Structure 1
């Protein structure tokens, strides 16, 4: 049926998903309820990605004239045909995500998955190799290895501090978010919103999610931020940081941000004041695009030529804690 992309896995029911003869004591409503509860396991963004794979799967089945009853549970041969059809067109990550979407669709509707892990890996890697060779043949001069992500370290972030005006609402929000990402070992999409209209109190962090002056297991005083929902844990998880004796201290930045922008408990943590082109005052949550755009401008002004992405925070903070002598296993847990 027509529905939002994030509902495709749940509402696009396989023809063989519910058989009352096999389950005489389970009603169709019971089965639908189970599917609804299970679908909460995945974040909305993950469901949308999985939806793309499911749509491609059905499109290829339509072209191949595969009957609905034969699409689920999908045979290993059908799944290999699906991957073969996408070969030379999609990357490893795309193929893996699309296949994961079809597998999630099977699990959600209590159907067995018939493609074993070894065969799946072989098909995905082979398809990726074909794409790489084809790209090299088509455009040898453009076939270059993607540059590695440079880490955003304390030294890099300190350079933005000299270029940002922390009395300006946007700069105050951006710098606070950046320091929290670095010292909390968080990913940029965990502290920002994808677009201005996307803020959701159940998904995004607010000032109410912060606890100050908490003692950790070693008696150190830390600030704890509860992330309401993450991709791996829909029920949320905590990140934390301690006092930093430099200009990247998240607590100092947060205090300044609260003074400048006054975020409310029902607002995004990095809500900031702004004005439209007519001068009318507004308040906006901080998007990942706005965060990275402002940081890039500040770094360019400081003479830094490297190109950074939101993922560079996670790389930089992991490196920073390892260089401080924190055991690898501890950093692994802290970085989730």
Structure 2
């Protein structure tokens, strides 16, 4: 067939010569007309017609050929490729679990689990990750079919990063005790996870009177963390568990109830700052400094800013003058009184001052490090308190949580709301 002068027969190979997104006007018109007619046919009123009925035939084979070429072979938008030619993909980064290089210590004779491929002899901090329950997330049957075992295993690896190394070690000790207890009681693997409330209660009861309350807390939280990490449901009754843990604290051996001495200078400063900030319902930034070089005697509290006052009833209060605050450029006073128990701010402050002996013109909570005084920064304070919370199996809190917690404590003691507003220096 002869073609008009100047026209070119398009073939699949020659279509590649057309630069994207250029297209023939004739082809575009033909394709658009076919689409409109197809729409009218499919959505016309009355009896539906077959899609091929009512379509206008193309005017020429050339147009049909052009339409086919551009509808099927037109190149799409350029793919995003790296310089080396490989196509970039998301969701390829993985968090790795790297076992430590050290060798685990030998088990004690009375704390040795039975040999098991699910409880390998590893470091205490690795037990949470490497000791696998019989029925965990990775052995579940109702998982999406397109997820690989590596995808599912990655969940446990990432969850394991939520605990500090010291917390993992404490939890690992609890997990060891739990499995040894189950071995002695002939508890099968499938009953250890998910552990029934009866089993957990029996385990806690077996520890009461022999361990400190905080140790038993860590053991229980370790078993719960093991369940969470491996996707096993934690079924323990909260009220029953809290009652058992309170009883464990009361029945702890006398030796475990001895007060812990804060003999390290930094520990004494942090604890004194914590109790002072709490019972004064103060802002954490008012008793710490932003960084090591930021101490300013005209802004931050010094030992010389502390005084003792007696009210008309002879009750003693320790008052701290803050030279400059967020709301008062001329400074404000905050105070606390002696408290009963280990959190007594008066005893904590006396211990800090006796151990660190900060100069009168230095930061109040300065502590000795390498024979030099270092002001207590807010970052260091939060880091130390967060580490202590994790060791105790508690969730770390932000600095403002101290002031909020203090307000709640005073209100629960019966302090009138208006009085608390004055103490906390709230305008409304």
**Pair member with larger Rg:** 2
Higher relative CO (Cα under 8 Å, sequence separation at least 6) belongs to: 1
**TM-score of the pair, normalised by structure 1:** 0.49
**TM-score of the pair, normalised by structure 2:** 0.38
Q: Which has the higher helix share?
A: 1
